[in-house]
Amino acid sequence: MKVVIIGGVAGGASAAARLRRLDETAEIIIFEKSGYISYANCGLPYYIGGVIEDRHALTIQTPESFARRFRIDARVHHEVISINNSQKSVTVRNLVTGESFDEPYDKLIIATGAKPFVPDLCRIGSERIFTMRTVEDTYRLDTFIREKEPKTAVIIGGGFIGLEMAENLTHRGIRVTIVERSTQVLQPFDADIATFIHAKLRQSSVSLKLTRSVTGFRSDSDGIITDIENDSALRSDLVILALGVVPDTSLAGNAGLRLGQRGSIAVDEHMRTSEPDIYAVGDAVEIHHRVTDAQALVSLAGPANKQGRIAADNICGINTAYRGTLGSTIIKLFAMTAAITGISEKTAAALGIAYDKIVLSPLSHASYYPDASVMTMKVLWEKNTHRLLGAQIIGFDAVDKRIDVLAAAIYAGLTADELQNLDLAYAPPYASAKDPVNMAGYIIDNILANRIEQFHCEDVERLPRDGRAILLDTRTPREYAMGHADGFINIPVDDLRVRLYELDPKKPVYVMCQSGLRSYIAVCILNHSGFKAYNFSGGYRFYQTVMQDRQFSEKSFPCGMEN
């Protein structure tokens, strides 16, 4: 059996290695148009930042090491220019010699991945404009920084690559401005959670220009000018395009393979395309989303590697299937970590899913053990079935642990209240006896059992402030004096029982505290005392971050690089 693989990075390299482990006699050829195979795309920004110092660490395998260990013929600088279905061959161009030739196959795997989205307005041929997708892109940028010693950079796009590059350029002493046409960075996250990311970027001296569209670029002798619609132009020493990626599927389309959304390759659960002997894996394909039950594009290394393995299995007669994705992803942003799994609130609303949510602010480990830090968790579930829909977490420690537990719970089909029953490891340096994931389950169980009712950030402005309701802040007087929501009076939770006479039991009471715990206790006291009380989900810390971000968004922030 002869298997040809187009593309030698995550999905392609994974498929090749799995094929060899399953079949020692198969002839396996990889054609990769760049100069590297099996390299760590996700590690490229950290080489720019100096976190990864050895450039060889970025390449997990080389053509030579692949040949020695797996007897796989990996040919770099070879671009497949067409797929010939009827002849079961591919036409390949050697990018070094210019020679073209046909290579037959028994089975073909397309692992062409995705390519950076570069609008026509960005194609001005400037050496100061960069994309970040390949090892060559990374080395070109690193060489530019070493030789030109830039002081300023503009990043177009506030996605994962854009933010990782912002952090790592900042580590190199370069002042960064991010231009993003949306109202927030990191689109998979909800806007309220993104406010924490905005705050961290600003604290780290990264300027944000949200709701701004780039209209073009101009070169001058000392740098490059980015023109922005309805705003001042930005002059910088370099520009990085981080506008997202699009599936690289021209080969598949020209070969007549069935395509899916946004030009991606349509595959079945075995990663087989509309041609029985052609498989496709990685960022180029559309895959099943386990929460929405719809086809989706998810450009992540984890799914690509799994798909490569599954394609190899099926080529070798092992009937395995890709069970879909949750889109679980995580990003380090200076000292902060942001993670998401499943779907967001805005996605649930757009799909018409009847959902509910909680926001909580637990500590990363036991409060009495040193260096515990607060994390903000948002968990969504479907109202009728109680199935988990998604979760988002922002914090500084152990975020990865909690998002992975929640991802496993969603995959396993647990209901939201069943989170309280998970038997999770505990020791003071690592967690609390009531882990944050368990705490989410406890809160949800109270809501489902109607023991407590909530109100949310978006409800605060609509609360009656004409005397028809009581708005109650149960923090200490000192906390209250440092800042509180408009119209809220202060009665500390520990004083509440002896001061109930100050409140009218005929009026609803909306209760807030710093994190949601003291207000929950206050709600219990009030409800047992004849009041109708509601607990604020997330606490004042959450509310304050959202409100401060709103105030920032209403102002104009000079980045120090205006023309």
Mind telling me the catalytic residues?
42
Q: Which of 255, 315, 247, 312 is nearest to 282 (CA)?
A: 247
Alpha-carbon distance 317 to 309, whole Å?
Answer: 13
DSSP strand E in 85-187: where? 89-94, 100-104, 107-110, 114-116, 129-131, 152-156, 175-180
Contacts for 92 with CB less than 8 Å, ≥ 6 apart: 31, 78, 79, 80, 81, 100, 101, 102, 103
Signed CA dihedral, 438, 439, 442, 444: sign only: negative
Contacts for 301 with CB less than 8 Å, ≥ 6 apart: 10, 41, 42
Strands 234-236 and 223-228 come out as antiparallel
Alpha-carbon distance 239 to 228, whole Å?
Answer: 13
Q: Which of 8, 122, 118 is nearest to 61 (CA)?
A: 8
Alpha-carbon distance 432 to 184, whole Å?
Answer: 33
Q: Is 297 helix (H, G, I), strand (E, B) or coil?
A: coil
Instruction: Spell 31-55 as b/e; 16+ CB within 10 A means b.
Output: bbbbbbbbbbbbbbbbbbeeebeee
DSSP characters for 18-29? HHHHH-SS-EEE
Dihedral of the CA atoms 451, 457, 462, 468 (nearest 10)?
Answer: 40
Alpha-carbon distance 238 to 148, whole Å?
Answer: 10
